[in-house]
Structure 1
Amino acid sequence: MGTKISGATAVQLTEVSKVYGRGAASVTALDKVSIALARGSFTAVMGPSGSGKSTFLHCAAGLDRPTSGTVRLGDTDLTRLKEAALTELRRERIGFVFQAYNLLPALNVEQNITLPLRLAGRGADQAWLREVVSRVGLADRLTHLPSELSGGQQQRVAIARALVTRPEVMFADEPTGALDTRTGRQVLTLLRDVVDHFKQTVLMVTHDPVAASFADRVVFLADGRFADSLDRPNPAAVAERMTRLGEW
């Protein structure tokens, strides 16, 4: 997809390919994918199993290096960075939310949220921490341990942890995959609110048409290639495109 989205670009992938293995045993997970994500936008990535969704997220977030092509976060070319610089960039400029909440069980809610700051040797901006905690609805849970929280509350902690460093982009990989429908919708509403209120850029991989409908735009992958996109999605339209992709 060659077209840029209007406004400043938060992330840009240009002709990104990822090949695992060599020779006859090689598998092309991504095949010359190009896309730009505008700052303050909410993008969902969908596609059949094996379409390259997770590889796309890992390359875009600097968790995996593409075989060819470039990935830019703002003005920074991730593909040119050494591993130590990439690690620092992920910690300072990117937020992550996964299906498994990845909270540390011995730390309370506040300690889990501020962990990225401590790893970076920085203190928390107390005013920003209070705003984030209030926005995610955890102000009365700061001293609780993860084991004392519901799944939805644990995912809210993970979202707050991703926000606390004021990242340029938040990457969410199946963030509602472990949650029931009602709790999942609450988390998606929170992600939508984070985009609208904080102007946060969010890229979410999901298999759920309802989850995708919370985004501004859905990008569809199939066989490692850009297949389609849908602006202002609704669940029925997303499901219909996914059905078509099964025969793509």
Structure 2
Amino acid sequence: MDSVTKVYGRDGAAVTALDRVSISIPPETFTAVMGPSGSGKSTFLHCAAGLDRPTSGSVFLGSIGSDLSKLSENDLTKLRRERIGFVFQSFNLLAALDVRQNITLPLRLAGRRADRKYLDEILSRVGLAQRDRHRPSQLSGGQQQRVAIARALITRPEVVFADEPTGALDTVTAREILTLLRQTVDTLGQTVVMVTHDPVAASYADNVVFLADGRIHEIAKQLSADEVADRMTHLGGRS
């Protein structure tokens, strides 16, 4: 991301959500993005993932040489489907599909066949090998989020973007999901970028990016939950 600015609205109603943000996220790392409410966390994720176009600046993703902000809508849609994984607070599973079908949905939409061996590996890694024919209504919240993580991994994406992935889960289940995300980095070499308001969640990351007023205030390495909370206090909030 190079000098990215995102402005919503015009003239007197204009709001600058990101202000000349530049950052390079190392591959095969876990990065948490934190900041007070209104700091630009969600806009950062949306611009980085090609879900929204910056007003100015450039966004590059992994080995993709093109500036995402210059791609057509069709090319962006294809890129998001095939090269980017998404995990959200709401699991976004299709009720009529079983676990395997939900996981492989991005491949089906792209007209690609699932690699059965890799699918079985992913199911095993997320702990759902014995529940692969269950539908979402037959799964707990934590299990549904595991399906969502497996779905994000199935295309072997350049980056997985996670937006408050533990926000709807209890404390114990949240830690299981965070451990799983950590393992995808350590064992699969995945790159994960996670927006969160939770200092405990951020403590699982290699790097924590602190945003304030649309700008990067600090990038810190391997902080404890208490250290994250302390920095958030100085930024003016914890959400």
Interval of TM-score (by shorter of Structure 1 and Structure 2): over 0.9
Runs ≥4 residues deviating over 2 A: none
- State the shift of 1:179 in Å: 0.1
Task: Give the distance between the partners of 2:27 and 2:147, measured in 1 at CA.
Answer: 23
C-alpha displacement of 1:230: 1.2
Q: Does 1:87 align with 2:43?
A: no
Please list the CA deviations of residues 119-167 of structure 1 after superposition, one character each: whole Å capped at 9, or x if unmatched: 0000100111111110000000111010000000000000000000000
Q: Which residue of 2 aligns with 1:8?
A: none
What CA distance in whole angstroms lies between the structure 2 residues aligned with 1:229 and 1:170?
Answer: 19
Q: Which residue of 1 is the match for residue 11 of structure 2?
A: 23
CA distance in 2, matches of 1:68, 1:35: 15
Q: CA RMSD in A?
A: 0.7
SS in 1 for 2:230: helix
TM-score (norm: length of structure 1): 0.94
- Unmatched 5+ residue regions in structure 2? none
- Corresponding position of 1:210: 200
Give, as a single letter, the amino acid of the residue that structure 2 aligns with 1:154: Q
Q: Identify which of 144, 152, 172 aligns with 2:142.
A: 152
Structure 2 counterpart of 1:49, from 31, 34, 37: 37
User: Equivalents in 1 of 2:189, 2:123: separation in Å?
Assistant: 17
What corresponds to 2:161 in structure 1?
A: 171
Separation (CA, whole Å) in 1 of partners of 2:26 and 2:118: 24
**SS where residue 43 of structure 2 aligns?**
helix
Larger proportion of strand? 1
Cα distance, 1:54 vs structure 2: 0.2
Give the Cα–Cα distance (whole angstroms) in 1 for the partners of residues 41 and 179 of structure 2. 22
Superposition pairs of residues 3-82 of structure 1, within 5 angstroms: 13-74=1-62, 75-82=65-72
Q: Are 1:235 and 2:219 counterparts?
A: no
Distance 1:232 1:96 in 2: 23
Deviation at residue 76 of structure 1 after TM alignment: 2.5
Deviation digits for residues 200-239 of structure 1 (CA, Å, limit 9, x no counterpart): 0000000000000000010000011111121011101100
Partner of 1:104: 94
Aligned length: 235
Q: CA deviation at 1:82?
A: 0.5
**1:173-212 to 2 correspondence within 5 Å?**
173-212=163-202
**Whole-angstrom CA distance in 2 between matches of 1:214 and 1:232:** 8
Distance 1:48 1:73 in 2: 26
- TM-score w.r.t. length of structure 2: 0.97
